[in-house]
Amino acid sequence: MPPWIEHAVAVRKKLKERGFKPADRVQICEKCEEYAEEAWSLKGTQGMGGRDLVYCMSCGRSRSWRGQGSPRAVEEPFDLIAFLGLRA
């Protein structure tokens, strides 16, 4: 299996292990213009808060939103690989 496919599988597996669920269909990434950007969502305790993130499986661009309400601050760039503990 090519290394980029193994990497994408590892990222998806870790997201699922952390309780994230796919939130939307694959979208076009604004940075690399590939159909490779995935949205994932994690609900907080009692349905409040949580974290939403978007990750491009092609170029690695990632963004994250935490909390609830409308003035949710975006973390960009967001180091998803470190967040998931995938670095050696």
Residues with Cβ within 8 Å of residue 80, at least 6 apart in sequence: 11, 53, 55, 62, 64
How would residue 5 be classed by pLDDT, with cut points 50, 70 and 90?
confident
Is the omega angle on the peptide bond into residue 22 within 30 degrees of 0, that is, cis? no
Chain segment 42-51, per-residue pLDDT in tens: 987 666 668 9
- The burial class, CB within 10 Å (0-12 / 13-18 / 19+), for 54 is buried
| Residue 25 tokens, joined | 């269909």
Q: Write down the pLDDT at residue 80.
A: 93
What value does the mean pLDDT take over residues 36-45?
88
Instruction: Indicate whether 14 pLDDT > 90.
Output: yes
Q: Which amino acid is at 27?
A: Q
Q: How many CB atoms lie within 10 A of CB 75?
A: 14
SS3 73: coil
Chain segment 76-86, per-residue pLDDT in tens: 999 999 999 98
